Structure 1
Amino acid sequence: MTPRTMLLRPVLRTCVSAVRRLSVRGAGWQAARRGVPARPRLGVPALSPVCAQNNSTYRPPILLSAAAFFLFSKLVEDEDEGLTTAEENIIYHLKKAKLSIMKGEMEEAEELLHKTLRLAHECKSKRAITYTYDLMANLAFLRGEYDKAEKLFKTTLVYMMDEGVKQDDNSFIEISLKLSSIYASLNQKELAVAGFQFCIMSLDEKIEEEKDLSEEIRTAEDKTNTRLLLGLCLDSYARYLVANSQLLHAQTMYEKALQICREEQGELHPQTVTLLSDLAAVLEAQGRFDEAYTYIKQALDTAQKTEHPNQHVILGNMATLLLHQDHLVDAEQIFKEALIKAEEKKDLGSISYIQDGLLELSRRKKNEEQNH
């Protein structure tokens, strides 16, 4: 264990002690987390000089996973175990609740989960209780109810530890990451940073310890999932650092996340494209325009080749970069192309961002004409 990790873990233990005192008894990266859609970058890039002053608020990633899935998966998936009627009823309600969340029917999902929780307590199934709490926490997280989500995630961790889940388990770290994102969104910086660093260092240590283990002890799929979860943690921490204007540190995190994504998911993966664009935005914000252009060009080429769903975002980012370099003709052409695609997607955030870029471009063209 590294000295830095030793400093961080007492913070986690303090958090865990607080969790236990609550005692509430009633309540990209895709491959690493079942059922989690890759998070697109919506509207504006991670940071650009135009929007830097308005980008100080950390926006947590959209996470719809259930970290406790693995605690309950055998009960859900193994038909040979012989489920009781009560267990079948719980599974039915859980699946309905997950479907409601995916369809955006949040009120219905919450009602279903409260009913499921009562059934799980009646059945005295700790796995079902844990999984239900985790889904309830995710639902609150998605709705921006961060105080509620924090309490529910902490309760989930208590049940997980009671089930014997270790603190370096991927499911435990994933919830720790969500808590870090909540603390970041609530501007509780010390807890946020400690949480992000705990997740990253724990996974770094785990990867190092397991790299030479045989397939019988740790499968290649498990090792890949751990690396992908590390990539997600690096990505999330990078966005926090950007929101707090720590651009060089954010750049390092993005570079590490990009390396993992390339190695584990390939050059053509949508998350690779997103990370290339984000890294370009951070370099752009530092005034390193040539380096930024290299990355945004890679992102755009791959996005066009693979029909990436967020080509309009990447086009907007490239146009903004060209605008800052005073390549007005090229910037205008790409802004217009981005606007057409954004309107086709009905992405209001991106449309507004691109229109602002076109207004700025028009202003600069007028200034040039007046100066001549």
Structure 2
Amino acid sequence: MQKFIRILFNAKTLNRLVVPTVHKNYVFLKQYNQKLPFTHTNVSQASLRFLKPNAKSILAISLLSWLGFAEEDKNKESELIMTLKRSVLCINREQYDKAEQMLHLALRIAQQQQNEQGALYCFDLMANLAFEQRDLDKAHKLFVHILQLLLSKGTPEDDIKVIHISLKLARIYQLGAELEQAEIGYAWCLEQIKNKKNQNKDTKILYGVINDWYAQFLLDKNDVKKALVHLKEAYSVCNELSRQDVDQTVLLLNDLGTTCFRANDMTNAENYLKQAVSIGKDMQDKAYLGVVHANLGLILLEKGLLDQAKKFCKEALYLGKKHENSESINQANYCFDQIKMNLNK
């Protein structure tokens, strides 16, 4: 059995997870709407900081396909499917107590129907709900339980569901400061998906998600050069699969821009963020767009373009106030503080 799978089933590891004291980058998977606190590591060149906007992604794996329902079943809107949909809606609305109740109801229905796939999906949503609420130990145990069920039924280790769950466990190890296990997990997921990434849309989506999450892990370790490789790969997947999804494109361009800055590649940093600002004009939800403007202002400030930096910082503050987004407002104010420091030199 693969090394990472062995780690997952190590009983000693199950009780070693703690909630981290440092903020981690936002990670994306729309289906589970994981909204984690975020900040990029401060950089030394000009004491600049960059934020990754908190937003949802279009990258998702179909609920019904994952459950394995036949095409005719998808049209029946069974009691189980309706209950699962209501629970997902509650999660998206952050009605977590109600979501928990709905998931337990869905699990009972699935068990009464002897619907193993449905029960498995209930456990998966429960695990993600625990993760949403920062109960990492509970989420870890639930995800491990799901893997045990999958593997005990003969599911291959390179099956997309096994890779998908393993990716979330790698993220939990990262958040629990189990960095060695996280590194092994991300590498294992990439190894498993690389030969099947072009099989279908779901495998390509998962390939993009793995690259994005692994890039965030590498940024936490300050391995900027390697992180850029995986961010570019995630961006390539996003462009191929979701050219119409402006929000996700802006998020990844923001990441590429701020990461290029950390790599001291000011030209590409500016280019990526200018693309993000330009494309962001067509976003449906502009709540966090101010963060991107402020990040661009900081890049321009670093390049000595003071007037241009002021322009984007002002726009960031305007957008933040207009959309009542505290992250944009705070980042704009930080940008102005950096401008004042440069004027006083």
The TM-score with structure 1 as length reference comes to 0.76
Q: Deviations over 1:209-241 (max 9, x none)?
A: xx6xxxxxxxxxx52331221111111111111
Provide, for residues 142-175 of structure 1, a one-character-per-residue CA deviation record: whole Å limited to 9, x for no partner: 1111111111111112222344432222222111
Match of 2:7 in 1: 15
What do residues 68-97 of structure 1 show as CA deviations (whole Å, max 9, x unaligned)? 75353517961688x9xxxx4444432322
Identify which of 75, 100, 115 aligns with 1:125: 115
The structure having more radius of gyration, on CA atoms, is 1
C-alpha separation in 1, matches of 2:165 and 2:309: 42
1:186 aligns with 2:176: yes
- Summarize the Cα distance change of 1:181–1:67 in structure 2 as closer, same or farther, 3 Å threshold: farther
Equivalent-residue separation in structure 2 for 1:137 and 1:90 (angstroms) = 18
Given that residues 43 and 49 in structure 2 are in contact (C-alpha distance below 8 angstroms), is that contact kept between their aligned partners in structure 1? no
How big is each residue's C-alpha offset from its partner over 1:177-227, in whole Å with a ceiling of 9 and x where there is no partner? 1111111111101111111111112111223xxx6xxxxxxxxxx523312
Higher relative contact order (CA 8 A, sep 6+): 1
Residue type of the partner of 2:317? L
Structure 1's 306 and 125: CA in aligned 2 closer, same or farther, altered over 3 A? closer
- Per the alignment, residue 167 of structure 1 pairs with 157
1:319 equivalent to 2:297? Answer yes
CA contact (8 A) 2:301 2:339 kept: yes
* Offset at residue 47 of structure 1 (A): 6.4
The structure richer in helix per residue is: 1
Residue aligning to 1:26: none
| Structure 1 residue corresponding to 2:317, chosen from 339, 342, 366 | 339
Separation of aligned partners in 2, 1:51 and 1:140: 36
Matching residue of 1:70: 65
CA contact (8 A) 1:153 1:175 kept: yes
Which range is displaced more, 302-311 or 324-333? 302-311
Match of 1:143 among 133, 140, 143: 133
Specify every segment of 5 or more residues in structure 1 that has no aligned partner in the other structure, as ranges. 1-8, 23-28, 212-221, 368-372
The CA distance in 1 between the partners of 2:258 and 2:43, in whole Å, is 6
Q: Name the residue aligned to 1:298.
A: 275
Normalization by structure 2: what TM-score?
A: 0.81
SS at match of 1:205: coil
> Does 260-269 or 180-189 show the bigger shift?
260-269
Correspondence list, 1:77-226, <5 A: 78=73, 88-207=78-197, 223-226=200-203
Query: Is residue 307 of structure 2 the alignment partner of residue 329 of structure 1?
Result: yes
> 1:227 maps to which residue?
204
Structure 1 pair 137–202 and aligned structure 2 pair: CA distance change class (3 A): same
Stretch of structure 1 that moved more, 346-355 or 132-141: 346-355
Q: What residue number does 2:221 align with?
A: 244
For residues 117 and 40 of structure 1, what CA distance do their matches in structure 2 show?
Answer: 25
Which ranges in structure 2 are unaligned for 5 or more consecutive residues?
Answer: 15-26
Secondary structure at the aligned position of 1:346 is classed as coil
